[in-house]
A and B are shown apart, each in its own frame.
Chain A
Amino acid sequence: MKTQDMREQLAQMGNGAHALATQILGNSEEAADAVQEAIAKVLGRPGSYDPKKGSLAPWFMRLVRNHCIDLLRRRRAEPLEADALPATGPGPEASAEAAQRDEAIRSALAALSPDRREIIVLRDYMDLSYAEIASVLDLAPGTVMSRLHRARMDLKETLTRYE
C-alpha cells in the first residue's frame, strides 16, 4: 500500500479511532494523544501492515486498542465517567433537544462496561463487519453477534434512564 493512500485512510479513520480510544480511556484528550501515537507508529513503520492479512481498519483499530490498554495499565486511569466523554456540544444551529439526545447517548454509553462500549462503537459508529470486530477484539467470530446483541439491549435499557 502506498504511504499516501495509507495516510488518507488513517485520516478517515481518525475519528472512529478517537471514539474507540475515548471509550477505553475515558478521556478525550488522552484518547487523541493515543490515536496520534498509534498513527505515528504506523507511519514510522508502514511495512508493518500487511494488506494480505485484511483491510487496514481492523488492523489499525486493534493497534489503537492495544495501545490504549497499555496506557491504562501504565497510568492506572480513573474509571470512565460521563463527564470525561468528549464535550462535543452541538453548534449554535443545533436544537437543545438534539443536544440532550446526544448527551443521553454519551451518558448511557459511559454507564456500560468497557467491553460493551467497545463493541458498540466498533459496529454502530465505525461500521466494521463482525469478522473485523472479532479480529480487533480478539474474539471467536461466532461470539460477536451475541456479545453485540447483549450490549445493544443493555444500552437500550440504560438509555431509558437518561431520557
Chain B
Amino acid sequence: MATEHVGELLSGYLDGELTQQQRQRVTLHCSGCEQCRDDLAELRALRERISGAPLSELGEDQWRENMNDTTVQLSRGIGWLLFIAGLLVAGFYALYHLMIDSSMSFIEKFIIFGVYGGLAVLLFSVLRQRLIERKTDKYKDVEI
C-alpha cells in the first residue's frame, strides 16, 4: 500500500515529461493507490476535453485570408513610401535646377516656385486630412 501520493508527477506522467525512474515510480504507486489512479484518469479526461473544446471560433483559412490582407497592406505601404520618396527627390532636383538656371529672371523663378510649391503644399494638406479621417472614421467599413 503506497503511503505518499505522487502529486504533480501525475501531470508529468500524463504528458510524457518524466524520466524513466519517475515513470516507474508513478506506475508502481498507482498500482496500489486508488486515489491517484482516479486522479490520473480524471486528469486524462480533463485534458482530452480541453484539447477538443472550442476555445477559438476562427479557422486556419481565416488566418490565411487575414495574412493575405496584411501582405497587401504591407506592399501598399511600401509602394506609397517609394512614391513619396521619388516625388521628394524629383522636387528637390527640379528646385535645384530652377535655382541655378541663369536664363530666367528672379521674378519668373519666384512665380514657378510659387505655383508648384503651392500645389505641393495643397496636395500634402489634402493627403494629411484624408489620413486623419481614415484613422478616426468609425464607419469606414460600412458598406452602403
Query: Which A residues form the contact surface with B (CB < 8 A)?
Result: 7, 10-12, 14-16, 18-19, 22-23, 28, 32, 35-36, 39-40, 43-44, 85-88, 90, 101-102, 105-106, 109, 120-121, 123-125, 127, 129-130, 145-146, 148-150, 152, 155-156, 159
Say whether, besides A43-B74, A125-B55, A130 and B46 are in contact (CB < 8 Å): no
B51 on the interface (CB 8 Å rule)? yes
B125 on the interface (CB 8 Å rule)? no
Is B54 touching A43 in the complex (CB atoms < 8 A)?
no
How many residue pairs between the two chains, A and B, have CB atoms under 8 Å in the bound complex?
109
Is B47 touching A124 in the complex (CB atoms < 8 A)?
yes
What B residues does A125 contact at CB under 8 A? 50-51, 53, 55
Is B51 touching A127 in the complex (CB atoms < 8 A)?
yes
Say whether, besides A43-B70, A44-B74, A156-B42, A11 and B63 are in contact (CB < 8 Å): yes
Is A39 touching B63 in the complex (CB atoms < 8 A)?
yes
Is A11 touching B64 in the complex (CB atoms < 8 A)?
yes
Size category, B interface? 20 to 34
Query: Which B residues form the contact surface with A (CB < 8 A)?
Result: 7-12, 15, 17, 42-43, 46-47, 49-51, 53-64, 66-67, 70-71, 73-74
Other CB < 8 Å A-B pairs besides A11-B63, A18-B56, 8 of them? A10-B67, A14-B58, A15-B60, A22-B55, A87-B57, A145-B8, A146-B8, A149-B8
Is B67 touching A120 in the complex (CB atoms < 8 A)?
no
Q: Interface residues of A: mostly helix, strand, loop or mixed?
A: helix
Sample 22 A-B pairs with CB under 8 A, ordered by A number: A7-B67, A11-B63, A14-B56, A14-B58, A14-B66, A16-B56, A19-B56, A39-B63, A43-B74, A85-B55, A86-B55, A86-B57, A101-B49, A102-B54, A105-B49, A105-B53, A130-B12, A130-B17, A145-B8, A149-B10, A149-B11, A155-B46
What B residues does A10 contact at CB under 8 A? 63, 67
